[in-house]
């Protein structure tokens, strides 16, 4: 199929959807038990996506189906994983799907089979983990490694951190936790000092993660960590023997790693975007060290299953596609600028922060793939916290505020840990799930009261992803579900979801400030914040 | 002064501001070095609030000044702290200011002087801490308490947790850390089990925090903790000797605490809203145990200083008032539905989550104080993460997305910890601050590029709160700044910022689900999530 790239507002479905958005039924009335039963889409990893409580009629669904066809969503996905230049501005392929499995053709770059390359890195990681876990590779003072600390920021931090936290209790309960993991990200020295205050340097292995090998924050933190190790004055301590790297083969980090010899570097390449790198060596090293390579393999299997399902052209069988289309419906036609992710699972406490990056960095764009300014809204603002915590916090606004926030609930029938007790007739897990069920209905249907302050308008749409328990496989599927959703939305909006030019200006101006800013506005702010302005004559 | 309550759209300033919003200059041009120098307002705790990069002209400022007068903001504040019924719907006074100092008259309830009452609780906490820290009060097996675990949710969790994390490194560095603190909030048993997996039960003191003494999550967690303690089969372990309470004097918790004897309960009352309770015994117990009562007293002193400053009628000398008015300008006239809080301080990592609750639960309302539906927007959606982390995440959308998000930066000249090194000519702290200075200017001024994908429109407003270092005093001032800002905005919108009726429906429906929901929609979701539906005949 020849791919065509057109803006959303040039599709026929756009006009249809616009018309439909002016004559909608009430969600209260739409949400019948029958609809709830019929709106479940089986997703990967044993998960199910249910969109009964979304304001989507059959007519809307038909128009969304047409939109999917017009924007050639499945064909563009296939083109992407088969090695099309989906990141056009940077002239790059987009191959994170290949880190977990092959969906289509072999993909080559400079004669190298990339699936083989990514798999090869994971094999190297597996072998390395084996030696670390067996005590064959040890710290420089002869002690076994007990802790792994990832030093990375953005994509090298949020995804792996969210996944680690998501499986920490799961692994502990099942005696799978091999090493505890910690994360240093911020260039704020308090972050590094705080993390180091809680670990034993002799038994700690650091992973330096930077694709380019030039990330300012990460390199500064590497040096700070090494300085702390040197100043600890531990006999025999050799910081280089406590530091491995995940980077690209051509980066300065890879070179310096080779020079020093000894500790390995694991590689990714330009076709794995930072925010899509959790299933590459970026997540692979830290998660395999923490939980063992088999747990990481399960995450990959769940993600791959989700990737396979995402090829399904039938909307009613493709949860990521449905989710993407409903998101665009809510953003561009119902005109809701934000969306909240609300996992009823404490293990997913940092998953919303990862999705915030994934979504907002991918689709927070104002130009189409040909760099023309768009006349419609793109990626929404994403935020969220676990339930039930959020219920006692910002849900007040979600229920009774003046704006509507579409919601994405996530929940599991069973907890990861087994210890639970009955209090007043129900376990904690049952209470958790009862709260979740109650919220979906409360948001949709509301409740009238003579006292308007106790009245709930309802009409607040949500969808629910649920499963049996948050296993590594379910977690991988959940991760890939959202990655694929965001990708489909990028196709619909006709934008490049895989670059991030919006981060560049800050970098340039930071350098100016550090060099002693010539721009007097920069200098003024720098002075307030105590940044030495040596080059400035005032 | 006789107080009058009118809706925002009934003020004269409303029409003026509406007109002004249609003919605004460019922020790029507005932001001159001179303006930057002149837009600083000294705030409490050594902080400064600078609003140079806000799209506020002198005309707008005049109209905002008029709005402050028309809505009688200072008079309403004075009425509030002097014991007016500011929480009208619940017929309650709003007295969190009184927990840190007296601003006006003595306030009595049932003949009790409430300042004396709040101070008395803190004195009791101080005495208790002295005994715990000295080892006079010990765990039931004779060991000293080393860890304190707060069990609470919402207002009993987010504020105290954010403040604890904000001072953890500060205290550690200065040898002020007396006990480590942990927090259990979610009814998800994985939360409780996860926290308990990381503490030694024999040396752990739990604080049960619930004003009503009936919070479902907190009571379930208390029982789960006690069950874990019992099942640990430690000789001599008596869970009751490891559990104190913060609650209201009339709550079931207070009664059961008295019955058991021994361990104390500390009290708050109905005039301290949960989200405003960090400076009451709710934050006082855990923070005094962790850092010592003197550190907590410093937090109170900073907050009280901010409260005093907030009485200043001159806009140019009242940071909280200015912040509030600009927020309303951006929300109702520039029509931005969201706002982000971006602290360049890792210590403030959970401060945005606290502000999210504070702001969204207080001002996410659709009716005025007389329960009439409003025709304008109220509280915005609030989110945020620390910088520079966010720069590598969602800043892409902030810079180049289709929506404008007003920003609140926070930064400090010095880190809390001393260990820092020079890498390529600058320390990590200098890099952190250079990034912050660069971002303020980048958002406001943007940058043109022939390649539209590399172009930055700019025109994205921000303000900056900055100080020397994040001390307990500065932290208290920062906390109170936002509390007072949110309060002023509530006055402007003519809403009740101190109730939370929006959380009730969920509670009611949860009970229905747990009792076996008669509503078939509730039952359908409950079934998906595996909640036993015993009462349902299908």
Q: Which residue has the tokens 């629910």?
A: A464
Q: Bridge partners of B408? A: B341, B463
- Smallest CA-to-CA distance from A465 within A4, A53, A12, A30 is with A53
Q: Which residue of B has its CA nearest to A512?
A: B438
Give contacts of B528 with chain A, Cβ < 8 Å.
Answer: 40, 48, 50, 437, 464, 466
Residue A509: phi and psi, rounded to 5, are -70, -30
Flag whether residue B187 sits within 8 Å of chain A, measured between CB atoms. yes
Q: Which residue of A has its CA nearest to B37?
A: A524
CA distance A317 to A325: 13
Is pLDDT at B84 greater than 80 in this prediction?
A: yes
pLDDT, mean of residues A52-74: 98
* Farthest-apart Cα atoms in chain B, separation: 75
pLDDT-derived band at A483 (thresholds 50, 70, 90) equals: very high
Cβ distance A364 to B398 less than 8 Å, yes or no, reads: yes
Is pLDDT at B538 greater than 50 in this prediction?
A: no
pLDDT-derived band at B536 (thresholds 50, 70, 90) equals: very low
Give contacts of B462 with chain A, Cβ < 8 Å.
Answer: none
Q: How far is B387 from chain A (nearest CA, A)?
A: 7
Q: Which two tokens stand for residue A306?
A: 């989700």
Out of A223, A439, A521, name the one closest to residue B506 (CB).
Answer: A439
Is pLDDT at A263 greater than 70 in this prediction?
A: yes
Cis peptide preceding A189, ω within 30 of 0: no
pLDDT-derived band at B260 (thresholds 50, 70, 90) equals: low
Which one of A217, A434, A464, A522 makes the best mutation probe of the B interface by having the most chain B beta carbons within 10 Å?
A: A434
CB B181 within 8 A of CB B150: yes
- One of A305, A330, A361, A483 is an active-site residue; which one? A361
Q: How far is A499 from chain B (nearest CA, A)?
A: 10
> Which residue blocks in B188-251 are alpha helix, DSSP H?
189-197, 216-231
Tell me what the pLDDT averaged over chain A comes to: 96
Residue A494 pLDDT? 98
Residue B471: phi and psi, rounded to 5, are -90, 170
Cβ distance A525 to B36 less than 8 Å, yes or no, reads: yes
CA distance A440 to A460: 9
Which tens digit of pLDDT belongs to each residue from B105-117? Answer: 999 999 999 999 9
Which tens digit of pLDDT belongs to each residue from B54-80? Answer: 999 999 999 999 999 999 999 999 999
Residue A257 pLDDT? 66
pLDDT-derived band at A259 (thresholds 50, 70, 90) equals: low
Cβ distance A33 to B158 less than 8 Å, yes or no, reads: no
Residue A463: phi and psi, rounded to 5, are -125, 165
Cβ distance A414 to B356 less than 8 Å, yes or no, reads: no
CA distance B216 to B205: 21
CB B300 within 8 A of CB B123: no
pLDDT-derived band at B259 (thresholds 50, 70, 90) equals: low
CA distances from B365 to A156, A404, A463 (A): 39, 12, 24
Residue A429 pLDDT? 97
- Smallest CA-to-CA distance from B488 within B56, B75, B92, B91 is with B75
Q: Which residue of A has its CA nearest to B367?
A: A453
CA distance B350 to B386: 9
Q: Is residue A25 helix, strand or coil?
A: coil
B363-376 burial: b if 16+ Cβ within 10 Å, else e: bbbbbbbebeebee
| ipTM over 0.85 threshold | yes
Residue A430 pLDDT? 97
- One of B18, B317, B507, B511 is an active-site residue; which one? B507
Which tens digit of pLDDT belongs to each residue from B400-429? Answer: 999 999 999 999 999 999 999 999 999 999
Is pLDDT at A538 greater than 60 in this prediction?
A: no
Strands (E), A4-142: 40-42, 48-50, 108-109, 112-113
CA distance A513 to A259: 33
Tell me what the pLDDT averaged over chain B comes to: 96
Other residues' Cβ atoms within 10 Å of the Cβ of residue B71: 25
Is pLDDT at B537 greater than 60 in this prediction?
A: no
Is pLDDT at B254 greater than 90 in this prediction?
A: no
Flag whether residue A32 sits within 8 Å of chain B, measured between CB atoms. yes
Q: Residues 352..411 of B with a Cβ closer than 8 Å to A: which? A: 353, 356-357, 360-361, 363-367, 371-374, 376-379, 381-383, 385-389, 391-403, 405, 411
Is pLDDT at A520 greater than 50 in this prediction?
A: yes
Cβ distance A219 to B423 less than 8 Å, yes or no, reads: yes
Is pLDDT at A536 greater than 60 in this prediction?
A: no
Residue A258 pLDDT? 66
Give contacts of B377 with chain A, Cβ < 8 Å.
Answer: 402-403
pLDDT, mean of residues B500-528: 94
> Which residue blocks in B244-403 are alpha helix, DSSP H?
252-260, 281-291, 293-309, 319-328, 351-363, 395-400
Q: Bridge partners of B266? A: B246
pLDDT, mean of residues B126-134: 98
Q: How far is B258 from chain A (nearest CA, A)?
A: 22
Reduced 3-state DSSP string for A326-342: HHHHHHHHCCCCEEEEE
Residue A537 pLDDT? 43
Is pLDDT at A136 greater than 60 in this prediction?
A: yes
Residues 6+ apart with CB under 8 A from B424: none
Q: Residues 191..230 of B with a Cβ closer than 8 Å to A: which? A: 191-194, 197, 216-217, 219-221, 223-224, 227-228
Residue B258 pLDDT? 66
Residue A307 pLDDT? 98
Q: How far is B349 from chain A (nearest CA, A)?
A: 10
Is pLDDT at B459 greater than 80 in this prediction?
A: yes
pLDDT-derived band at A262 (thresholds 50, 70, 90) equals: low
Whole-structure pTM over 0.90, yes or no? yes
Is pLDDT at A321 greater than 50 in this prediction?
A: yes
- Smallest CA-to-CA distance from B492 within B381, B380, B378, B407 is with B378
Q: How far is B526 from chain A (nearest CA, A)?
A: 5
């Amino acid at each position: 199929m020849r791919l065509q790239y057109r803006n959303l507002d040039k599709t026929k479905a756009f006009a249809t959807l616009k018309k439909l958005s002016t004559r909608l039924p009430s969600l209260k009335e739409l949400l019948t038990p029958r609809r709830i039963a019929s709106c479940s889409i089986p997703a990967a990893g044993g998960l199910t996506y249910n969109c009964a409580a979304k304001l989507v009629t059959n007519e809307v669904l038909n128009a969304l189906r047409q939109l999917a066809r017009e924007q050639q969503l499945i064909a563009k996905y296939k083109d992407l994983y088969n090695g099309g230049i989906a990141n056009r501005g940077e002239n790059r392929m987009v191959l994170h799907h290949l880190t977990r499995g092959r969906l289509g053709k072999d993909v080559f770059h400079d004669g190298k089979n990339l699936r083989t390359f990514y798999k090869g890195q994971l094999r190297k990681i597996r072998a390395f983990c084996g030696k670390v876990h067996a005590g064959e590779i040890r710290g420089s003072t002869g002690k076994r490694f007990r802790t792994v600390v990832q030093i990375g920021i953005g994509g090298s931090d949020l995804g792996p951190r969210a996944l680690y936290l998501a499986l920490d209790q799961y692994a502990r309960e099942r005696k799978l936790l091999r090493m505890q993991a910690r994360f240093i990200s911020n260039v704020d020295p308090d972050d590094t000092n705080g993390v180091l205050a809680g670990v034993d340097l002799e038994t700690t292995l650091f992973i330096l993660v930077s694709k380019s090998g030039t990330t300012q924050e990460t390199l500064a933190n590497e040096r700070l960590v090494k300085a702390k190790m040197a100043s600890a004055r531990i006999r025999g301590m050799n910081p280089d023997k406590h530091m491995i790297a995940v980077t690209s083969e051509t980066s300065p980090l890879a070179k310096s790693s080779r020079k020093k010899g000894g500790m390995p570097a694991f590689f990714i390449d330009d076709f794995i975007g930072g925010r899509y790198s959790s299933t590459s060596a970026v997540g692979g090293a830290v998660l395999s060290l923490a939980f063992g390579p088999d747990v990481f393999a399960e995450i990959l299997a769940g993600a791959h299953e989700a990737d396979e399902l995402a090829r399904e052209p039938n909307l009613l069988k493709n949860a990521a596609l449905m989710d993407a289309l409903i998101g665009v419906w809510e953003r561009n036609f119902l005109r809701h600028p934000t969306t909240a992710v609300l996992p009823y699972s404490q293990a997913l406490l940092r998953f919303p922060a990862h999705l915030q990056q994934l979504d907002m960095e991918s689709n927070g764009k104002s130009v189409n793939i040909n760099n023309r300014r768009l006349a419609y809204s793109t990626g929404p603002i994403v935020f969220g916290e676990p339930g039930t915590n959020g219920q006692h916090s910002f849900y007040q606004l979600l229920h009774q505020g003046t704006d509507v926030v579409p919601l994405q609930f996530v929940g599991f029938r069973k907890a990861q840990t087994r210890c639970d007790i009955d209090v007043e007739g129900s376990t904690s897990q049952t209470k958790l799930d009862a709260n979740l069920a109650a919220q979906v209905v409360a948001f949709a249907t509301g409740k009238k009261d003579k006292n308007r302050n106790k009245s709930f308008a309802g009409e607040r749409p949500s969808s629910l992803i649920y499963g049996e328990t948050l296993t590594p496989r379910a977690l991988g599927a959940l991760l890939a579900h959202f990655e694929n959703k965001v990708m489909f939305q990028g196709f619909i909006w006709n934008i490049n979801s895989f670059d991030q030019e919006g981060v560049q200006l800050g970098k340039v101006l930071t350098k100016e400030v550090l060099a002693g800013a010539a721009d007097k506005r920069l200098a003024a702010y720098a002075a307030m914040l105590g940044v030495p302005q040596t080059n400035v004559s005032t």
